């Protein structure tokens, strides 16, 4: 396999920073949902790393389910067209749902997803995202838990891909220009 190192331009969030921030968010989530049964909904594929690490930082027991939606295709731009590739197995009636995401970019994916999940009769639907790009927002979304705000650059790693690659990079980084050419 190819070495990933030469494709990385700049590290924006280190492994240590991610771990520490997720521990803080987990503590807040434990407190906010005390005594309630939470359903974590991970948005495939980007959210796998956040889901795995956040869930293991929680002290409360939770359920986990997954949805696959896609808005980017294989490029770097959000199209606004959200497709369900895999739906939840769980009935959301009366559930307290916490959507787990890697990044909010334009916000189009989550704004669609939140209303979709609310329409299924959930008791509450909140969002936890590791990253958010405030300058890229096309729609306003109420996000309860945010790890880090990042600049409006294309970022990869910790679940985030470019053309399906770089998801296994353990930190969040920008790519060297040669990757795109």
Q: Is 107 in the site for Mn ion (CB under 5 A)?
A: no
Binding to Mg ion (CB under 5 A) within 62-81 occurs at 72
Spatial distance between the Cα atoms of 130 and 101, rounded to a whole number of angstroms: 7
The answer to whether residue 7 is catalytic is: no
Residues in the chain: 181
Binding ligand PRP by CB under 6 A: which of 7, 161, 165, 171?
161
Spatial distance between the Cα atoms of 16 and 20, rounded to a whole number of angstroms: 6
Structure tokens at 88: 């939840």
Residues contacting 98, CB < 8 A, separation 6+: 29, 33, 38, 39, 40, 41, 126, 127, 128
Binding Mn ion by CB under 5 A: which of 13, 21, 38, 46?
46
Q: Is 159 in the site for Mn ion (CB under 5 A)?
A: no
Catalytic entry in 87, 89, 102, 105 = 105
- The residue ranges that bind ligand PRP (CB under 6 A) are 43-46, 70-72, 78, 101-109, 161
> What amino acid positions are annotated as catalytic residues?
105
């Amino acid at each position: 396999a190819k070495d990933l190192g030469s494709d990385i331009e700049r590290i924006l969030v280190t492994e240590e920073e991610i771990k520490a921030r997720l521990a803080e968010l987990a503590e807040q989530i434990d407190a906010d949902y005390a005594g309630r049964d939470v359903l974590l909904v991970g948005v495939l594929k980007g959210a796998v790393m956040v889901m795995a690490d956040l869930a293991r930082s929680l002290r409360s027991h939770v359920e986990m389910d997954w949805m696959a939606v896609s808005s980017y295709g294989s490029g770097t731009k959000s199209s606004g067209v959200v497709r369900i590739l895999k739906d939840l197995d769980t009935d959301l009636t009366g559930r307290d749902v916490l959507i787990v995401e890697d990044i909010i970019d334009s916000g189009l994916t989550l704004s669609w997803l939140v209303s979709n999940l609310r329409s299924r009769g959930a008791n509450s639907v909140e969002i936890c995202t590791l990253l958010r790009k405030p300058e890229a927002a096309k729609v306003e979304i109420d996000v309860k838990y945010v790890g880090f705000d990042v600049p409006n650059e294309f970022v990869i790693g910790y679940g985030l891909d470019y053309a399906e690659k770089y998801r296994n990079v353990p930190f969040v980084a920008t790519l060297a220009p040669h990757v795109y050419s």
